[in-house]
Structure 1
């Protein structure tokens, strides 16, 4: 997995929840969450983890298996990480 896949996944998931394309979002992810933290978690091969944080007016939850939830709704299989 490329290290930025999880970052792109989060941006895409939040955009999707707002009915937007990722290029249309009006936030900078780094203002809410350090992208390096997300990349480090996304690169982990083993372990079980879950991270919840806020982006703008959304609650984002990412799980170790690559699932991304925005406001409690799973945003699809094309999210953070695929093996």
Structure 2
């Protein structure tokens, strides 16, 4: 099993997220995985189901690049619901 945070597999979209006044670009599975797992779990508490789905999808996409569409969709849903996009 490869480590998702080290994955260079490109997502199907590049996300431009504003966090604390700083713009963060997320274009790979590894970048997305680090972004959503490095923040405190309390910060994702309201979106626990979407967050869990996104983490799981990113882990799967790190193993199989064919699953990047699902990972991108799960990440988009999380970011939209959390008003980060």
Tell me if TM exceeds 0.5: no
Q: TM-score range by the shorter chain?
A: 0.3 to 0.5
Indicate the structure with greater helix content: 2
What is the TM-score normalised by the length of structure 2? 0.34
